[in-house]
Homo-oligomer: A and B are copies of this chain.
Amino acid sequence: MAASSTFSAWTLKGSALVPKASKSNPEFVCNYLDGSIKQKLHSMSMSASADTSHSWIFPYEKAIDWRRGKLSLKSGVQCRALDVETKPSFSVGNKFELEDVIEGQQFDRDTLGAIFEVALEMEKIEKNSAGSQVLKGYLMATLFYEPSTRTRLSFESAMKRLGGEVLTTENAREFSSAAKGETLEDTIRTVEGYADIIVMRHFESGAARRAAATANIPIINAGDGPGQHPTQALLDVYTIQREIGKLDGIKVGLVGDLAYGRTVRSLAYLLAKYKDVKIYFVSPEVVRMKDDIKDYLTAMGVEWEESADLMEVASKCDVVYQTRIQRERFGERIDLYEEARGKYIVDRNVLDVMRKHAVVMHPLPRLDEITIDVDVDPRAAYFRQAKNGLYIRMALLKLLLLGW
């Protein structure tokens, strides 16, 4: 297929385009001529699939940017290939290659295990007062469309503990203020010129995925509205692994707001990747776990049951995962909120029936759903859990910027 006469044609020939294998896996971003579709292709897949029967046309040689060992084809790129919609295999060997962190579902059991190994290395690095220089010279932008100080500080600490630098904004909405109305895509294209990786918090579900489809640098979703918050899900599973020593065969009680709590829903999803897991749902009637997750667990062969007896569940579980009842979910019905929030409290009576090796977890912040006197018990794992978020984020930053 001939390129338009304004373009010089350049045909992709497999391995010739594979860049120095020094940094994370290179990718090719191709914009179709109608400008509406983007597709990311691994060079590995391309070198296999881009045989001579396809013509890959790149309009501008100077649009290619070898920035940081990564071959990016900039905005002025067109791909014409008949079979480009055939999704290429993303696997090299058996290992998932990290490009972006968008949602919990993208990780399989092996990848989770590999990430957790890196997180464990990160614990050692963080404890070393000399300070790591692993990410020296790298710049992370925290692009927050709504403030989330806790999450932002955790990511920024992770980057700085590895010797990297940070550009911060908590009022990213200003980029696209009412009067101005810039699209998220345009904002991302501007910010990717300033940084090597973007950590994004947004108020709209799916925003992180849109950002990743646009960006030539890695995107980490730090929460997109009611959607995903994958690093929270990862740190929860990592904490169970660290505290209990295993994930297969564990019994987990999910307590509190199971209807709206993003964390418990994600956790249930991820736990389904492990064997012989048993999940107990303990929640006030108005915020019971929704059917989508229950159906998913059933389909995956995960045993689950609902219970109204926290004491009995606590006595059997490895993990009691408590959550906050969110007042904002109840609107005017303060009475329902007050009834719900007082129903299942983790206190010393609950601790008394819990097993010696078991732990209490909570995504924080907490109100009074865990009483303060629980804090001194070594089985109170929630502040260690928060700290694990640092290690998981260090691991992801390292993996996305430098690879395994």
- Can you tell how many copies of this chain the complex includes? 3
Residue pair A31, B136 in contact (C-beta under 8 Å): no
Verify if A137 is at the interface (C-beta below 8 Å from B). Answer: yes
Q: How far is the CA of A364 from the CA of B191 in the complex (A)?
A: 12
**A379: Cβ under 8 A from any B Cβ:** yes
Q: Hey, which chain B residues are within 8 Å of A374, CB to CB?
A: 35
A86 on the interface (CB 8 Å rule)?
A: no
Query: A386: CB under 8 A from chain B?
Result: yes
Q: Mark A240-270, 1 if CB is under 8 A from B, else 0.
A: 0000000000000000000000000000000
Q: Are A131 and B127 in contact (CB under 8 A)?
A: no
Contacts A157-B139, A168-B168 given; does A174 touch B149 at CB 8 Å: yes
Count, chain A residues at interface, CB 8 A: 88
Q: Which residue of B lies closest to A354 (CB)?
A: B6
CB-nearest residue of chain B to A141: B153
CA distance A379 to B78 in the complex (A): 13
Q: How far is the CA of A191 from the CA of B151 in the complex (A)?
A: 11
Q: Which residues of A (86-121) have their CB < 8 Å from a CB of B?
A: none
- Tell me the complex Cα distance, A225–B372, Å: 26
- Known A-B contacts A129-B23, A131-B137; the reply to A365 vs B161 at CB < 8 A is no
Q: How far is the CA of A60 from the CA of B194 in the complex (A)?
A: 45
Q: Can you list 19 contacts pairing A with B, beta carbon distance less than 8 Å?
A: A6-B356, A33-B376, A34-B373, A35-B372, A65-B127, A75-B376, A75-B384, A76-B378, A76-B379, A129-B138, A130-B136, A131-B138, A139-B157, A147-B174, A152-B169, A153-B191, A153-B194, A170-B171, A181-B365
